[in-house]
Homo-oligomer: A and B are copies of this chain.
């Protein structure tokens, strides 16, 4: 890893929330241990139980982290986009990946090997704090997810997801699903058939309008109530 290439990697790393605010000297070290790797759409990045020799940062593309049941059904835990880290759990505890990861699109990842990274963390308080923030944030997400899976019905989970998207996309009431409906079903803890029926039901009931992957929120108020109470 040399000259220009390394320099741009350094800048990119410095721009991620994980490494924000770190001294260039440290980023330099980081570049020394980082490896850029590519995966094709659908390729498996790691599998639950694999020993984790390091973790990843998404540079381009998107990645799903998921669990698989004995009979092959999948539950997506996270979708990661550019700048987001994943696979950190075995770096600090447990030594092996608790879940599977695969590329949703062709993607380019930065791999940070465990030992060198831990070393860097111990010498760099702000990196440690950033990491703690990332993990804490993820714990929150999980708490919401458990809440949602256990206390809300599918329409409620869907409503919550749509509202979340609309906050992220900030295109008024129009929004673009970022996942195929099959993947969205897996993220919401259900199956495509059920998702399909519920989208239709919400449309009939005047909450949303559907045109392929474009959804228009018709009645934000009621959608928010649905997300809140969790029952249709």
Question: A interface vs B, CB < 8 Å?
Answer: 67-71, 73, 75, 77, 88-94, 98-99, 118, 121-123, 125-126, 128-129, 131-140, 142-147, 149-152, 189, 228-231
Residues in B with CB closer than 8 Å to A123 are 125
CA distance A131 to B143 in the complex (A): 19
Q: Which of A73, A139, A147 has the most CB of B within 10 A?
A: A139
Instruction: Select one of B75, B89, B228 contacting A150, CB under 8 A.
Output: B75
Q: Would you list the 5 A-B pairs with minimal beta carbon distance, nearest first? A: A69-B151, A122-B125, A142-B142, A128-B128, A93-B136
A120 to chain B, nearest CB (A): 10
Residue ID in chain B nearest A145 by CB atoms? B146
Q: Verify B118–A129 contact, CB threshold 8 A.
A: yes
Q: Verify A135–B137 contact, CB threshold 8 A.
A: no
Given A125-B121, A128-B132, A93:B230 Cβ within 8 A: no
| Other 9 A-B pairs with CB < 8 A, given A67-B143, A122-B125 | A67-B147, A69-B151, A91-B136, A92-B133, A92-B136, A128-B132, A142-B142, A149-B149, A150-B189
CA distance A99 to B141 in the complex (A): 11
Residues in B with CB closer than 8 Å to A125 are 121-123, 125, 128
Q: Verify A92–B129 contact, CB threshold 8 A.
A: yes
A82 to chain B, nearest CB (A): 20
Q: Verify A122–B128 contact, CB threshold 8 A.
A: yes
Q: Verify B152–A69 contact, CB threshold 8 A.
A: yes
Q: Verify B71–A143 contact, CB threshold 8 A.
A: no
Residue ID in chain B nearest A67 by CB atoms? B147
CA distance A152 to B145 in the complex (A): 16
Given A75-B151, A125-B123, A151-B73, A139:B89 Cβ within 8 A: yes
CA distance A167 to B146 in the complex (A): 24
Q: Verify A121–B131 contact, CB threshold 8 A.
A: no
Residue ID in chain B nearest A75 by CB atoms? B150
Residues in B with CB closer than 8 Å to A231 are 71
